[in-house]
Structure 1
Amino acid sequence: MVPKLTYFNSKGLSETIRLMFKYGDIEFEDVRIERVDWPKLKLDAPFGEMPFYEEDGKRVNQSGAISRYVAKKVKLAGKDDWEDLEIDSIVDTLTDIRTKIIKALLEPNEEVKSKLIKVLIEETFPFYLERLNKQAVGGYFINGKLTWADFHGLIILEAVELVTKKKLNPDYPNLAKVIEHVTNIPQIKKWIEVRPITVTFKMSPKLTYFNAKGLAELVRLLCKYGDVEFEDVRFEREQWPELKATTPFGQVPLWEENGKVVSQSVAIARYIAKKVKLVGANDWENLEIDAIVDTITDLRLKSSPIFYEQDETKKAALLKTFLEETLPFYLDRFEKMAGSGHLVGNKLTWADFYLVTVNDALTRVSGKAVDSKYVNLYKVIENVTSIPQIKKWIETRPITPF
């Protein structure tokens, strides 16, 4: 029977072992389990942990020990005890980095998590990477030759790049060369191309916007409603000129997930709405929601000139037209549509959430928006703001002028 390696359906602690099997052309059974199945399987696992390795009817755990054993099979161990010691020293140091990354990324408190990641990027990584870069002369950790330390290094260094969102070059050219040497091995290159796509380290999505409600508040409300964990990154206006050049289209909010970044607040909100089940039951209902959302956006945009007008006389004239003509025109029609206390389909949708955020913005700009005259719209707002998660967020969110 071929050897069997059992682990979660991810790279994690098993990928170094898989890479070495592929390098040495050793056939093995790559058993992957889903996390929902782990509690049941855990009872049968050695010491209740994975990965575990089975060969000739015997089973062992501990990824480092398994890696060391497989490295000997595929001629990636040291030439003597001292070289093995050097390899172990580098591997354990790389594992220290991984442990610190895991601690930060699994921290449930978002504020604490942000601080831990900041320490990783500004202190921990530079400390380790500078020293490892000096060690990896020529792109190999041990004596200028390929060892399993380089394979383990690939996994950890890729995780560092994921957290920092930066390639190791040009700051750490030797470490970049380690990655290049391993990934260019034909067997490894082929494995990387065909292996299952998994997320090594799951990082919370990131929402970036000014320290204000503005265009980001709808996304925040939807995330809070659906208990979607996200990093609420806020910056001050004086920081914007510098940050603007780094954005896709020179605008915020930005939504970042799995290394990909998009802008456009309504598009982001629609995406989150799907996650939290606040979209329509069919294409027609989604069309109705989009039509309402886009119409609310029209209303919001018509209020913008009031906010930005510097001439007080012109500003007063704009406000008068808005309050006496524009606002009633829209609200009267929305009121007729919201007879059930919802804007679309007699049920809660993300269009209702958008009305809440835009109503808040209109109130700040004009001093007036939805009031008790609009019974149905008032009910829409009440239906959203009384949801426990939303109520709690409104009570605890940062206090900002906009």
Structure 2
Amino acid sequence: MPEYKLVYFNAKGRAELTRWILAYGGTAYTDERVELENWPERKKTIMTGKVPMLEIDGKQLPQSLAIARYVAKKAGLVPEDALRAAYCDALVDTVSDLITEGHKAKTSGKSEEDGKKAVREEFIPNHAEPVMERLNKHLGEKEWYTSGKITWADLSIASYFGEETNGFSSKLLDKYPALKAHIQKVRNLPKIKEWLAKRPVTSMLLTNRPDSAAVNQSTNSTAVNQSTDSTAVNQSTDSTAVNQSTDSTAVNQSTDSTAVNQVIHTTMNLIKQLQNRSCRSSLPPSRARQQCGDESAGSQACIRPWCGTTPPQFTADPRFVHNTRSRLLSRPSLATTTTTTIMPEYKLIYFNARGRAELSRWIMAYGNITYTDERVEKEDWPEKKKSLHGGKVPLLMVDDKPLPQSMAIARYLAKQAGLVPQDDMDSAYCDAVTDTLNDVTGEGYKIMFSSMSEEEKKKTYREEFFPNVMEPVLVRLNKRLEEREWFVTDKVTWADFMISLVFGEVRKRKADLLEPFPKVVALVQRVRDLPAIKQWLETSPDTPF
């Protein structure tokens, strides 16, 4: 059993979910709470200079959600099924976004009273309650958030919405009875109840701390609000999107009849996928437009080879289905040996930009995953938004079921593409790297979409963003890559993709900034030279960002 030490401030904040998970799992650990006056010295000993940080036998793991996900796996709180795990990720990411927005509101005014007013009048109705409403509807139909047993998503819900200091009074929760009952059910679990009774009495967030770079109490490079677009800020999960009662990727059939039906269904499903499969990976936009005879084809990824004609249709002859079913049923071993894998149909919805969706596109290109790349133009967004669960993008449709949150989407697809290590620790390091770089890009987008003039933006990038946000990360990345081909393991992972994606954008705009970091530059190119990625870069639409 590893020795764990969780390092954070003497507050709930970004570490409390991990504490709940450790309590639930009965995991022994040292709960190191750093007092404000001791932070400057303690900070020097932490690799990223940020907290929370989990020491595992002396090795440091940063990033609050990477930490929580790692200990949740050890506690049996992460579903084995990749899609259900992704829905948990999406919910936890949504709660994390709410923590960020809530803190922003709380510290937005000149006084404490101004902050409370902003939480009450802006944050709660505009950010928190839409999520609470969806959760209430979903939890009214389910015992647990996803799958048939408790997950870390349930602990995330209870640990955040159950804290009155976050602005969630009992009166407010009365409006959402199913959510309130769920919170109480989790808090009444014996080990959670024991933790709540013995934990130190602290505030949710520390304010007026001497370290302004850690205001949001996260390992993030600067802890930003992870949004791609001012109209798509919280990428919140949708309660109707997470009501997954079946395993969409691997159904183990328990009866003869069910097994046979599944084999037949799978065959027909594969034929349908062949009918609808994308040819973007093999055609440049110009050729696609020529073949389709449609100017819009260059920005739409689902380009059928019979464009302009009526697609051939497959209809199963009932006699064929009946005869096939009878023959299969005559084989007694089928029901006990058959595990059928159904390839889902994917549609990725985002703006006509790289932004928060490009990592997922790279992953699907690498994994040769067929999907529809739906790119929403700016003028079409108001109408399209009405049709989307949660009204946010990116959104991945998995057999018509929506999966929100950019990092939850990318992690799910990375598992399908073999880009997530099997080892829990290596997987957690991938999460930490991708989360950190997601924060870096978020800070960059924050400047990009600000109301500053172009000159002010350039100055902010040059004098604040690069030296304070990006450069410290580059230093750490370059040092680790001095003796490694890939960042986390001896094989490429989605963390390498994220590094190449983020710093490839920097190289495109300001290559001289990367000159002091040759190992990072080499990795950027190494990923982009992978055949599938190289082909994607050559054929994908050229967009501003």
> Which one-letter code corresponds to 1:314 in the other structure?
E
Q: Tell me: CA distance 1:102–1:227, structure 2 relative to 1, closer, same or farther (3 Å).
A: closer
1:239-250 matched pairs, under 5 angstroms: 239-250=380-391
Flag the 1:216–1:115 CA change in 2: closer, same or farther, 3 A. farther
Secondary structure of 2:541's aligned partner: coil
The correspondence for 1:106, drawn from 255, 275, 292, is 275
How far, CA to CA, are the matches of 1:198 and 1:346 in structure 2?
A: 31
The residue type equivalent to 1:266 in the other structure is M
Code of the aligned partner of 1:255: L
Aligned to 2:115: none
Pair 363,304 (structure 1): closer, same or farther in 2 beyond 3 Å: farther
Structure 2 gap segments, 5+ residues each: 1-255, 280-301, 322-337
CA distance in 2, matches of 1:115, 1:265: 32
Select 2:521's aligned residue among 367, 378, 400: 378
What is the identity, as a one-letter code, of the residue corresponding to 1:238?
Answer: E
Aligned residue in 2 for 1:149: none
| Cα distance in structure 1, aligned partners of 2:276 and 2:360 | 22
Give per-residue Cα distances to partners, 1:83-120, cap 9 Å, x unaligned. xxxxxxxxxxxxxxx9xx96786244443449979989
RMSD in angstroms over aligned alpha carbons?
3.9
Contact residue 205 and residue 255 of structure 1 kept, 8 A: yes
Contact kept, 8 Å, 2:350 with 2:395, in 1: the verdict is: yes
- 1:341 match: 485
Quick check: 1:272 aligned with 2:413? yes
Distance in 1 separating the partners of 2:309 and 2:443: 40
Q: Deviations over 1:258-294 (max 9, x none)?
A: 2211111111111111111111231111111111111
Q: Residue in 1 aligned with 2:537?
A: 394
Equivalent residue runs for 1:344-359 within 5 Å:
344-359=488-503
User: Aligned residue for 1:316?
Assistant: 458
Q: The residue matched to 1:269 in structure 2 has which SS?
A: helix
**C-alpha distance in 2, partners of 1:34/1:369?**
60
Larger radius of gyration: 1
CA deviation after TM superposition for structure 1 residue 231, in Å = 1.1
CA contact (8 A) 2:350 2:357 kept: yes
Find the counterpart in structure 2 of residue 289 from structure 1: 430
Q: Counterparts of 2:422 and 2:339 in 1: how far apart (Å)?
A: 31
Aligned to 1:223: 364
- The answer on whether the counterparts of 1:331 and 1:370 sit within 8 Å (CA) in structure 2 is no
The residue number in structure 1 matching 2:439 is: 298
Change (3 A) 1:221 1:346: same
Please state whether the residue corresponding to 2:393 is helix, strand or coil: coil
Output the CA distance in 1 between the equivalents of 2:304 and 2:458.
46
For residues 58-73 of structure 1, what are the structure 2 equivalents within 5 Å?
none
How many residue pairs get aligned? The number is 241
Q: Equivalent residue of 2:414, what SS?
A: helix
How many angstroms apart in 1 are the aligned matches of 2:499 and 2:399?
A: 30
Preserved CA contact (<8 Å) 1:341 1:377: no
Q: Secondary structure at the match of 1:224?
A: helix
Shift of 1:318: 0.9
Return 304-313 or 390-399, whichever deviates more. 304-313
Distance 1:374 1:233, change over 3 A: same
C-alpha displacement of 1:242: 1.3
Which amino acid counterpart does residue 347 of structure 1 have in structure 2? K
State whether residues 105 and 117 of structure 1, in contact with CA within 8 Å, keep that contact through their aligned partners in structure 2.
no
CA contact 1:216–1:265 (8 Å) conserved in 2: yes
TM-score using structure 2 length: 0.39
Q: Provide the C-alpha distance between the structure 2 equivalents of 1:218 and 1:389, rounded to a whole number of angstroms.
A: 13
Aligned to 2:138: none
- State the one-letter code of the partner of 2:528: T
* Alpha-carbon displacement from aligned partner over 1:113-167 (angstroms, at most 9, x marks no partner): 49979989xxx9xxxxxxxxxxxxxxxxxxxxxxxxxxx9xx9xxxxxxxxxxxx
Q: How far off is 1:333 after superposition?
A: 1.3
Instruction: For 1:198 and 1:284, locate their aligned partners in 2 and report how far apart those are by CA, in whole Å.
Output: 30
Flag the 1:369–1:259 CA change in 2: closer, same or farther, 3 A: farther
* Higher RCO (CA 8 Å, separation ≥ 6 residues): 2
Tell me, yes or no, if the aligned pair for 2:504 and 2:524 is still in contact at 8 Å: no
- Distance in 2 of aligned mates of 1:297 and 1:118: 42
SS at match of 2:389: coil
Superposed displacement of residue 219, structure 1: 0.5
TM-aligned CA distance change 1:369 to 1:240, over 3 Å: farther
Following the alignment from structure 2 to structure 1, what is the Cα–Cα distance between the partners of residues 496 and 512? Answer: 15
Give the CA deviation at 1:355. 1.3
Per the normalisation by structure 1, the TM-score is 0.51
Counterpart CA distance in 2 for 1:233 and 1:119 is 21
SS in 1 for 2:466: helix
**Pairs within 5 Å for 1:41-52:** none
Q: Tell me the distance in 2 between the aligned counterparts of 1:304 and 1:218.
A: 16
Shift of 1:338: 2.0
| Per-residue deviation, residues 324-380 of structure 1 (Å, max 9, x unmatched) | 44322221111112231322123311001011222244456x635863431211121
CA contact (8 A) 1:206 1:232 kept: yes
- The residue number in structure 2 matching 1:209 is 350
Conserved? CA contact 1:210–1:234, under 8 Å: yes
Amino acid at match of 1:298: D
Structure 2 partner of 1:238: 379
**Residues 248 and 115 of structure 1: is their aligned pair in 2 closer, same or farther, counting only changes over 3 Å?**
farther
Counterpart contact for 2:396–2:402, Cα < 8 Å: yes
Q: Secondary structure at the match of 2:412?
A: helix
The 3 A distance-change label for structure 1 pair 118 and 352 is farther
What runs of 5+ residues in structure 1 fail to find an aligned partner?
1-28, 39-49, 52-97, 125-151, 156-195
